[in-house]
Structure 1
Amino acid sequence: MAQKLSTSIVNKWKGHLNQMNALQEYLDQNGVTRYQVAKQTGIANTTLANAVKETKPLSGQTVKVISAVAQTLGKTPSQVLDDLIELDEDNSK
């Protein structure tokens, strides 16, 4: 019984590793940390922490967060959103 329970817990944990939030993955791909975004734009680190939770869908991201990421990367919010949509679609395949 304990063996089955521990296997179930491990499998559930592994599943969470594969569910990286699209915004966090995007930041990682661009070599930018949440701290850097917060420092450069003034957006609260807690706002960014909530935005990168693995349960937060791309459709739930705010203009404030997208704009802050765009400002940090020297891109337009439209470019960042297009990149995030593409990344999210690739991850759902």
Structure 2
Amino acid sequence: MNQCMDVFLQKFGLTRYDVSKRTGISQQTLSSANKKDPGSYSVKILSALSDATGISPGEVLDQLLRIQKEEERFVVRNWDELKIAVDAMKERFLVEGEFTEVMKDVKSGQLSDTARLGTELGTGGGVGIIEALYYFMHRQLSGGNKEEEKLKDRLTSLYHIILLDEHTVELKLKSLSY
């Protein structure tokens, strides 16, 4: 599931919350639609996206279908976008630019895949707890913004962090690997 709506809105610097505020359509309705194939979006959803972005409903649908076809991913460049991605439990998303340093820091608190496999076998699946404790101790020593640190904790428990290159990181839900 690509969650095309979020990718589409990101191109306009908008969120589903922004669309809800501008159009009066509920966030719950937008969230529900975001989980579906954009080809099945109702006229109400397409009209709301059109009103929020200033392009025609037909162009909205065309762009949504293009995003789906090309499997474009949500891109995170700051804490607000990261919160959106994690709260929505996006299956996969990218982190680009300077914000990749934050992901590298989080990754340094995660076990490697080989170490994880060995520990999973040895602990009967309890490695997530060990990893979370390690990251919690690392965080306590470094200090930091509490909200950002909680978000990092969620990343550690929910996502594999894959370094694609120096300026791009992919995050993939761990549950997809099982």
TM-score where L is the length of structure 1: 0.69
- Aligned pair count reads 72
Name the aligned partner's letter for residue 76 of structure 1.
Answer: S
What is the distance in 1 between the residues matched to 2:41 and 2:67? 14
Number of the residue aligned with 2:61: 81
Runs of 4+ in 1 over 3 A off after TM superposition: none
Number of the residue aligned with 1:33: 15
Distance apart, 1:45 and its partner CA: 1.2
Q: Counting helix residues as a fraction of each chain, which structure ranks higher?
A: 1
Q: Superposition pairs for residues 1-93 of structure 1, below 5 Å? A: 19-53=1-35, 56-91=36-71
Name the aligned partner's letter for residue 33 of structure 1.
Answer: T
Number of the residue aligned with 1:14: none
- 5+ residue gaps, structure 2, are 73-178
- 5+ residue gaps, structure 1, are 1-18
What is the distance in 2 between the residues matched to 1:20 and 1:86? 12
Q: Counting strand residues as a fraction of each chain, which structure ranks higher?
A: 2
Q: Do 2:38 and 2:61's aligned partners in 1 also have CA atoms closer than 8 Å?
A: no
Distance apart, 1:60 and its partner CA: 2.1
Name the aligned partner's letter for residue 6 of structure 2.
Answer: Q
Distance apart, 1:29 and its partner CA: 2.2
For 1:16-57, what per-residue CA distance to the aligned partner results, in whole angstroms no more than 9, with x for missing partners? xxx43111211122211111101111111110111112xx11
What is the distance in 2 between the residues matched to 1:78 and 1:71? 12
